[in-house]
Amino acid sequence: MKFGPVATSHAEGAILAHSMTVEGRRIGKGTRLSRDDCDALLEAGHDSVVAAVLEADDVHEDEAAAKLAMALAGPDKPEGLRIEDAFTGRVNLRSDGAGILVVDKGAVDAANAIDEAITIATLPEYARVEDGRMVATVKMIPFAVDAGSLNKVCEAASGAIRLKPFRPLKAGLVATQLPSLKPSVMDKTAKLLAGRLAVYGGSVVKEIRCAHDAGAVAKAIADLDAAAPDLTVVFGASAIVDRRDEVPSGIERAGGEVLHFGMPVDPGNLLLLASRKGKPVLGAPGCARSPKENGFDWVLERLAAGIEVSPADVAGMGVGGLLMEIPSRPQPRAGKVAPKDGAKIGAVILAAGRSSRMGGPHKLLETVGGQPLVRRSAEAILASKASPVIVVTGHRAEDVAHALDGLDVTCVHNPDYTQGLSTSLARGLSALPGDIAGAAICLADMPGVDAALIDRLAVAFGDAAEGAIVVPTVEGKRGNPVIWARRYFKALSSVSGDVGGRALIGENPSSVVEVAVDSDAALADIDTPEALEAARKSYGD
């Protein structure tokens, strides 16, 4: 591929590298220039354009992305994956159902090392995904790639991802008893296990309570055979502390084999992995009596997807296995926050920045569509379901507040605004009342964000499991505003600088709910005079 300045008179068929506007008509980046395009550019005085010219061995970015996506899913595309259409050199792959994503990391790494122009990104190995979740994306960096390199990448990445769908898992439960363990605790434990299994369409088919000794455990496990469980779970009244303890000894007496005791996940350290008659047996750690995510969940969800769990698999769960000290860690088994209209959402508008890239004017006070930009943003959010609306001010705080006169918003001044967006985030969150379930974090310089977008995100938040982070996406790219569940407020208030919540989103991939939107309003903010001019062309001065 040749790239660089091309004489406009000879640019027909070339791919435009940067968007250009001619007589009010926008010729977008990536456009294959037509004769009419070239003539219009010439008439406007553009004797040359920066463009890409494909050569014989080049494959156009969209064709290349489509080919690699098909290879990634395997020669016979497995059920459970949906390949979307190519756009701007990108193809997204989404789950076509709920399950566990299995990734051949070595294959993906090898493929990504072949040619810097050809990239593959996936969710982490063994990520639990819901229907419609983006699980992978392939992206061609330039406008075309070398055919030879593309073939090598496709070969290296062939079949590197697949979705293992959840299946109904029938579990037998053995619960041992001691005088110190209340029956109500055992009842709650059985209910929680049933709830965990119900996520995958499964159930507890039979429960047996017995004395806390090896002989009784062995008999109870054998008695479960009549119910033909896919999995046996043993909850000991006292925690397992050794391979020779009562629960593992009972499993062995019943003809089972203890495969692994202990796991590098906290909470979850005291999990026991065993096998009997070709089916898994789990000695549950004490933390599995709680709905909070723990190592037991990690093993259970793989089994529910029909993935065999080996001692090596358990030993490999250490990286990312520190759950105890992560305050933002979700509790996916705890159920929904509320029905669609029951999850109360507040909003925080960040309006404290200095507009340094504008070269002088304060962008939030500049008019777009006949109103100061900050007022336009606030009115849009006030028209949504979000309430209350907090506006965080900083630079030229009095002028910004004056621009909001008469609106039902609460202005909160951030005297530390020069230290970064994070300080405004903390101020805004602290001003929200205690009865809201989540907060929409909004940027005041996004004129295309309207009430319909906020409400669409709010509905997705209400439908999601507890602890959701709802993010709008445009052609696979994440934008703003983002709705955060209350449990993240403390962690969000602890970030520093101008990074906002990006790191927390990365730490909690299983909680992210993406909402695809057609408009680029969720991506378009105003940072420069050029961006302001473009917004005025779209929405008026």
Pairing mode, strands 170-177 and 231-235? parallel
Domain assignment present for 145: yes
Nearest alpha-carbon partner for 237 in 305, 186, 303: 186
Domain assignment present for 441: yes
155 shares its domain with 49: no
Domain assignment present for 332: no
pLDDT at 536: 86
- Say which CATH number the domain at 477 has: 3.90.550.10
Copy the structure tokens of residue 174: 């053995």
pLDDT at 338: 36
189 shares its domain with 149: no
E strand map for 196-301: 203-211, 231-235, 257-261, 272-276, 279-283
Question: Amino acid identity, residue 379?
Answer: E
Instruction: Give the HSE-up count for residue 165: Cα atoms under 13 Å, Cβ half-sphere.
Output: 12
66 shares its domain with 157: yes
Nearest alpha-carbon partner for 492 in 481, 478, 505, 479: 505
Question: Where does a domain end: 325, 359, 375?
Answer: 325
Q: Are 462 and 341 in contact (CB under 8 A)?
A: yes
- HEC readout, 274-314: EEECCEEEEECCHHHHCCCCCHHHHHHHHHHCCCCCCHHHH
Alpha helices of 308-396 — where are they, by DSSP H?
A: 311-315, 373-382
**Cα–Cα distances in angstroms (integers) from residue 10 to residues 5, 70, 187, 301, in the given order:** 11, 35, 78, 59
What helix, strand, coil percent values describe the chain, rounded to 5?
A: 35, 25, 40
Instruction: Give the HSE-up count for residue 168: Cα atoms under 13 Å, Cβ half-sphere.
Output: 7
45 shares its domain with 67: no
202 shares its domain with 271: yes
Domain assignment present for 336: no
- Omega prior to 5 cis, within 30 of 0: no
350 shares its domain with 409: yes
Domain assignment present for 331: no
Determine phi and psi for 350, rounding to 5 degrees. Answer: -90, 110
Q: Are 64 and 101 in contact (CB under 8 A)?
A: no
Question: Where does a domain end: 262, 290, 325?
Answer: 325
Domain assignment present for 335: no
How many other CB atoms are found less than 10 A from the CB of residue 228?
11
Largest CA distance in the chain: 93
Alpha-carbon radius of gyration of the chain: 28
Domain assignment present for 333: no
Angle at 491 between CA 503 and CA 483, to 5 degrees: 75
State the Cα–Cα distance between residues 523 and 521, nearest whole angstrom. 5
State the Cα–Cα distance between residues 193 and 284, nearest whole angstrom. 10
Domain assignment present for 216: yes
380 shares its domain with 499: yes
242 shares its domain with 127: no
Residue 63 structural domain: 58-165
- Omega prior to 285 cis, within 30 of 0: no
How many other CB atoms are found less than 10 A from the CB of residue 244?
12
> What count of residues does the chain have?
541
- The per-type count for the chain, helices as H runs and strands as E runs, is 16, 30
Positions of the chain with pLDDT under 70: 77-78, 324-342, 497-499
175 shares its domain with 161: no
- Say which CATH number the domain at 205 has: 3.40.980.10
Q: Could you give the number of structural domains in the chain?
A: 4
160 shares its domain with 296: no
Pairing mode, strands 469-474 and 512-516? parallel
Residues 6+ apart with CB under 8 A from 47: 7, 8, 9
Question: Where does a domain end: 271, 293, 325?
Answer: 325
Copy the structure tokens of residue 66: 């489509």
- Say which CATH number the domain at 127 has: 3.90.1170.30
Question: Amino acid identity, residue 291?
Answer: P
pLDDT at 330: 42
477 shares its domain with 507: yes
Residues 6+ apart with CB under 8 A from 315: 260, 263, 264
48 shares its domain with 80: no
State the Cα–Cα distance between residues 328 and 345, nearest whole angstrom. 18
- Say which CATH number the domain at 35 has: 3.90.105.10
